[in-house]
Amino acid sequence: MDTKSIFAKRFRELREAAGLKQSEMGEKLGVSRGSISFYENCDRTPDIEFVANAAQYFKVSSDYLLGLTNAPTTDPYRRAAFDSLGLSYEAVDYLMMLNQVEKENHFGPSYVERRDLLSYFLSLHREIDDFLTQCSLYVSKSLKGHDPRFTYTNEYIMCMDTLKAHGFSISANEEQTRYLFNERIVPILRGLLDSYVDMNRRVHSAQH
């Protein structure tokens, strides 16, 4: 996607997120509604002054509007973290928040300890992918629920009894989600934490 198309897409997204019509946007930025339409449809290239005004109005960086970064922030520290770590903007915001919390509150694990734990988790590609897969299945099944038009009706109970007579069984959705959490998610998380503890023990032993 070229620069003009990226600007058009991001500018439109910001305008719509702000709940502004094209005519209202034009009034705020000192151009006509037609100009806004031209920019959003890639029919005209905005000049430098318009890009700067748009960035200032939406409190994002000009680089974000032009596609030079995917971080909308004007904060150079947040942008550097976003561009270098490859995390989502929300994840970077969370890490910055932890850092601020540590400065204001000295109770609990430090920001560095939490950051190192997160970095370790992210380095275990296969394990963390398995963990996220199970978590996604858990969320999906939790949201799905059961169909009250069929579950626990006479037909449902008859099917259950027939399957049980042949050595099979049907577990309710709640039982499946409980199994996923207790038998899949918890063991994986425990394994990740135990491996992190073991690694730190080895490092500590090597240093002493």
pLDDT in tens, 121-138: 888 888 888 888 888 888
Separation CA 56–CA 43 (nearest Å): 23
pLDDT of 185 over the 70 cut: yes
Based on the fold, state whether residues 85 and 60 are members of the same structural domain.
Answer: no
Each residue's pLDDT tens digit, 151-173:
566 776 777 777 777 776 656 66
Domain that holds residue 149: 124-207
* Torsion over CA: 192, 195, 201, 207 (sign): negative
Of 87, 139, 144, which is closest to residue 118 (Cα–Cα)? 87
Residue 101 falls within a domain, yes or no? yes
Classify residue 165 as left (phi > 0), alpha (psi -120 to 50) or beta: alpha
Helix (H) or strand (E) holding 90: helix 89-104
Co-location of 55 and 89 in the same domain: no
CB atoms within 10 A of CB 47: 9
The radius of gyration computed from the CA coordinates of the chain, to the nearest angstrom, equals: 26
Instruction: Give yes or no: residues 12 and 48 share one domain.
Output: yes
- Comparing 137 with 18, which gets the higher pLDDT? 18
Same domain, 133 and 103: no
Residue 91 pLDDT > 90, yes or no? no
Q: Which CATH number do you get for residue 48? A: 1.10.260.40
With a cut of 80, say whether residue 97 has pLDDT above it. Answer: no
Number of domains in the chain: 3
Compute the distance between CA of residue 99 and CA of residue 106 in angstroms, rounded to an integer.
11
Same domain assignment for residues 95 and 59: no
In this structure, is residue 119 part of a structural domain? Answer: no
Q: Within a domain: residue 153?
A: yes
Whether residue 172 is found in the same domain as residue 193: yes
- Among the listed ranges 86-95, 119-128, 138-147, 171-180, which one has the minimum average pLDDT value? 86-95
Q: Are the CB atoms for 191 and 130 separated by under 8 Å? A: no
